Chain A
């Protein structure tokens, strides 16, 4: 032992030396540095956490902005649509009003024309009757009873004989509405008589419209639904022409 230089005193001195170093280094070096490492680790973790939070916040802000933008966009779109609709509505209204005005004016004009025509035709009626009587007198050569002639002419034009509508005799009609066409406008009594009889044949109910068409020459054409009762002079002439051929 002695030759190897081993000596308990030196060993103890070295052990004490180590112990002192151990304590001092532990206080001065290890604890501060391990604390520093810990702090640094925490700081890094905190930095990462902060970065995460910031990223989240940014994401939220972006989302919020996106939402606001979308809202604004949809609101603008809605407003645009509404305005467009309103404009269209107004345009339509204006157009409709104009159309209505125009059609009203046209109708008024038409009605006026119609009344005028009816007035002219009814004015003509007397003269036509007189002309016909005169012509007949010339042809037949003898004067008829003036009253009788008048009745004949009236029957010719109105198709109403002794208060009865000739064309409705012996026929059956059914329908909701009837259109009665005459060559010359009917007078009030004739109209009443025709209406009464047509309604009777229709079953008491229905609507009767009167029209004037000089082309039929005389008599009446009654149309109920799809059925036409032709009592007109032109119709009879046509039938005669057919049978003579």
Chain B
């Protein structure tokens, strides 16, 4: 019985942890929006902008990855 409660709490915790990905999603959206606008204004530099955009996305996504790791640890490890 108690184990079921713990199990449920873990799952709720994992779900809560994934809320943090909201920020990453918004951040990636902002990065891509800026990059696309820049590419539209200045199509000659699309290559450079794309590389930098992917770098920026990677850094924004890192936060979401921490959330994912926490969620996975809660689900499977703790």
Are A and B close enough to touch in the complex, i.e. CB under 8 Å?
A: yes
CB within 8 Å of A: which B58-78 residues? 72-73, 76-77
Nearest B residue (CB) for A1: B77
Chain A residues lying within 8 Å of B73, measured Cβ to Cβ, are 4
Per-residue CB proximity of A1-38 to B under 8 Å, as 1/0? 00110000000000000000000000000000000000
Query: Could you say which interface size class chain A belongs to?
Result: under 10
A interface, by DSSP: helix, strand, loop or mixed? loop
Taking the closest CB of chain B, its distance from the CB of A56, in whole angstroms, is 33
The chain A residue sitting closest to B77, CB to CB, is A3
Smallest Cβ-Cβ distance to B78: which chain A residue: A3
Chain B residues in 8 Å Cβ range of A4: 72-73, 76-77
Collect the chain B residues with CB atoms within 8 Å of residue A3's CB.
Answer: 76-77
Instruction: For residue B76, give the distance in angstroms from its CB to the closest CB of chain A.
Output: 5
Q: Nearest CB to that of B69 among chain A residues?
A: A4
A4 CA / B68 CA spacing, docked (Å): 12
Shortest Cβ distance from residue A119 to the other chain B in the assembled complex, whole angstroms: 118
With A and B bound together, what is the CA distance between A150 and B72 in angstroms? 176
Closest Cβ of chain A: how far from B6's Cβ, in Å?
15
Task: List residues of B (21-71) whose CB comes within 8 Å of A's CBs.
Answer: none
* Chain A residues within 8 Å of B77, by CB: 3-4
| A202: min CB distance to chain B, Å | 108
What is the minimal beta-carbon distance from A120 to any residue of chain B, in angstroms?
118
Using CB atoms, name the residue of chain A closest to B75. Answer: A3
A3 to B74, CA, bound (A): 11
- Report the Cα distance A4→B78, complex, angstroms: 11
Question: How long is the Cα–Cα vector from A4 to B77 in the complex, in angstroms?
Answer: 7
Please measure, in the bound complex, the distance between the C-alpha atom of A75 and the C-alpha atom of B78, giving whole angstroms.
107
Give Cα A38–Cα B77 distance, bound, in whole angstroms.
52
* A3 to B69 alpha-carbon distance, docked (Å): 12
A4 to B71, CA, bound (A): 12
A4 to B74, CA, bound (A): 11
Q: How far is the CB of B43 from chain A (nearest CB, A)?
A: 25
Distance in Å from the Cβ of B66 to the closest Cβ of chain A?
A: 14
Chain A residues lying within 8 Å of B76, measured Cβ to Cβ, are: 3-4
Can you name the residue of chain A whose Cβ is closest to the Cβ of B73?
A: A4
Binding site for A on B (CB under 8 A): 72-73, 76-77
Can you offer 6 A-B residue contacts whose CB atoms are under 8 A?
Answer: A3-B76, A3-B77, A4-B72, A4-B73, A4-B76, A4-B77
* Interchain residue pairs A-B with the least CB separation, the first 4: A3-B77, A3-B76, A4-B77, A4-B76
